[in-house]
Chain A
Amino acid sequence: MSVILVFLLVVLGVAGWWLSHQRLMSKPWLEQGVPAAFPDTDVTGMPTAKIALGIFLAVVGALFALFASAYFMRMDYADWQATPLPSVLWLNTAILVMASIALQIAVAASRQGHGTTVRLALVTAALTTVAFLAGQLMAWRDLTADGYLLDGNPASSFFYLITGMHGLHIVAGIVGLARVSARSMRGSNDENTRLGIELCAMYWHFLLLIWLGVFVLLAGWANDFIAVCRQFLI
């Protein structure tokens, strides 16, 4: 359970940092008076949707951290045989990076009001993301063809499970992206659309981060690191 505990420590750190700005040591019974006196502790000016997405991403992070924890714990058992990494995953990673970059360009362009660039970037993001999903399916096909089946070694089971779970989150993201894109295609570049694009970018960056983590996990690069950590923890 080390991965999830480290993840929670990070979450706890962020929460603790935020709480430390909330004057938790104050004595509220002495502070009767006008609200303007406590500007720090008022609600933030950040868009509510962004905060909500941030918290949701923490939940998604916890989910994948738990999968990683389960992966490492299961790996300790004798029957574990690493699954080779399908080479198409390198390409997929590059494609997902491109999608993230495209969305970042869309964010910048929408702030400057370049409608055409925004639309182009959104379409690029959507297409590259679909290409990523197709690439993931190819990776599955390759593995299956090589005899690494879902009900075979647990390493392959985890491969399908974790990549599948990541893919599902991407699919959900595409639904959101499609809605924002539709609005943008109609020529809208109001505050709402801009926020939507920013949220998409945030979501994509996070899922890219998760994917990189998953990639490292499935490639087995994390094992040595964990082995070193283990020595300190029993």
Chain B
Amino acid sequence: MAVALVLVLIVAGSVLFHILSPWWWTPIASNWGYIDTTLVITFWITGAVFAAVVLFMAYCVFKFRHKEGRKAAYEPESKKLETWLTVVTALGVAVMLAPGLFVWYQFVTVPDDAVEVEVVGQQWQWSYRLPGADGRLGTSNSRLISFENPLGVNPDDPNGQDDVVVEAGDLHLPIGKPVKMLLRSIDVLHDFYVPEFRAKMDMVPGTITYFWFTPTRTGTFEVLCAELCGTGHGYMRGIVMVDTEEDYRAWLQDQSTFAQLTAPEKVSAAGDVRP
């Protein structure tokens, strides 16, 4: 009796917790509302299954608990019932999977007009590189990294000269424009994670990974590292600000390009880099 009651209370408590809990995801600030929708669908389906299974169990425990003289029914299997349950489960799973795969397709298909922005992770700070007037990022190589060239931008690549370099600073993005975040790490795995954007991806040294999104809300958002990267992992924070177009341009004006940063020492720096 008590056991059945506790089982019912667990279901009721879980549902109430879900409804009343003040803990829910942060207000979205990107175009990935679809992800939230898929998540909500999954919540409904799984929640219903959880409640159904546990409540059924509670009923069984209540109804069929041992009493003097009770004898269990003898029923080795029911092929019909099992087939039905399999089919219904498969359908439920398909209902969750189909929208998931659909949205994933969008997630991995970067629109052509997305602007590339490079994020560089290192223990334990974030740096950024934005294409300059030519709209293209120069190549980079971690072997080129030095004190003067912390991001390892290739000094021989003309595309890279006008790249805007933000070392350990804040990133600004214009609202409403799709961005392709090119993710690069110069030491260990990191993961560029802004809860409000929903999207995230690991940064793997040696390769460039990416994800894309469109900022839909201006404001200041916190960047966290979401892949264990050593002792300072928990303190690897940063700031992304989504600006209006004017604010963004104003910010961009104040930034230095790669050429400006390396100009004074350019001659000696080129000789310094190790092969």
Contacts and interface: CB of A to CB of B under 8 A. Distances in A.
4 contacts: A27-B76, A27-B77, A29-B76, A77-B206
Nearest to A79: B206
Interface in A156-173: none
A29 B206 CA distance: 59
Nearest to A27: B76
Interface of A: 27, 29, 77
* B interface secondary structure, majority: loop
Interface of B: 76-77, 206
Contacts, number: 4
Contacts of B77: 27
A153 to B, nearest CB: 16
Contacts of A27: 76-77
Contacts of A77: 206
Nearest to B207: A77
Nearest to A30: B76
Contacts of B206: 77
Nearest to B77: A27
B77 to A, nearest CB: 8
Nearest to A28: B76
A77 B77 CA distance: 54
A77 B204 CA distance: 14
A31 to B, nearest CB: 11
Shortest Cβ-Cβ A-B pairs, 4 listed: A29-B76, A27-B76, A77-B206, A27-B77
A27 B78 CA distance: 12
A27 B76 CA distance: 9
Contacts of A29: 76
A29 B74 CA distance: 11
Contacts of B76: 27, 29
A28 B77 CA distance: 11
